[in-house]
Amino acid sequence: MDAAEFRKRGKEMVDYVADYLEKIEKRQVFPDVEPGYLRPLIADCAPQDPESFEDVFKDIEKIIMPGVTHWHSPYFFAYFPAACSFPALLADMLCGGIGCVGFSWAASPACTELETVMLDWLGKMVNLPEEFLAGKDGQGGGVIQGSASEATLIALLAARTKTIKQVQSEKPELTEAEIMGRLVAYASDQAHSSVERAALIGAVKIKSVPSDETFSVCGSALKKVLDEDKAAGLIPFFFCATLGTTPCCSFDKLLELGPICNKENIWMHIDAAYAGSAFICPEFRHLLNGVEFADSFNFNPHKWLLVNFDCSAMWVKKRSDLIGAFKLEPLYLQHHHQESGLVTDYRHWQIPLGRRFRSLKLWFVLRMYGVKGLQEHIRKVTGNGLLGCLWWDGKGRRAGCLSTLHGFCTPQKAQETVLGSSVQQGCCSFAPCKVTISYHGRIKGAIRFVLIFRKEKSWNLEFLQYGTTQSLSN
pLDDT digits (tens, 9 = 90+) for 76-125: 777 777 778 889 999 999 988 888 887 776 788 888 899 999 999 999 99
> What is the widest separation between alpha-carbon atoms in the chain?
72
Q: 103-112, 268-277, 292-301, 310-319: lowest mean pLDDT where?
A: 103-112
Query: What mean pLDDT comes out for the span 181-203?
Result: 91
User: Predicted confidence band at 332 (pLDDT cuts at 50, 70, 90)?
Assistant: low
| Share above pLDDT 70 across residues of the chain, in percent, rounded to a whole number | 78
Half-sphere exposure of 414 (CA within 13 A, CB side): 27
3-68: CATH homologous superfamily? dopa decarboxylase, N-terminal domain (1.20.1340.10)
Give, as one character, the DSSP assignment of residue 228: H
Domain ranges of the chain: 3-68, 95-368, 389-473
pLDDT tens per residue across span 1-37: 999 999 999 999 999 999 999 898 888 888 889 999 9
The topology under which CATH files domain 95-368 is Aspartate Aminotransferase; domain 2 (3.40.640)
CA distance 203 to 129: 32
CB 113 within 8 A of CB 342: no
pLDDT tens per residue across span 341-359: 667 887 778 887 788 888 9
pLDDT tens per residue across span 383-442: 744 333 433 333 333 333 344 444 444 444 444 444 454 444 555 555 555 555 443 333
Query: What mean pLDDT comes out for the span 233-255?
Result: 91
CA distance 290 to 403: 19
Before 310, cis peptide (omega within 30)?
Answer: yes
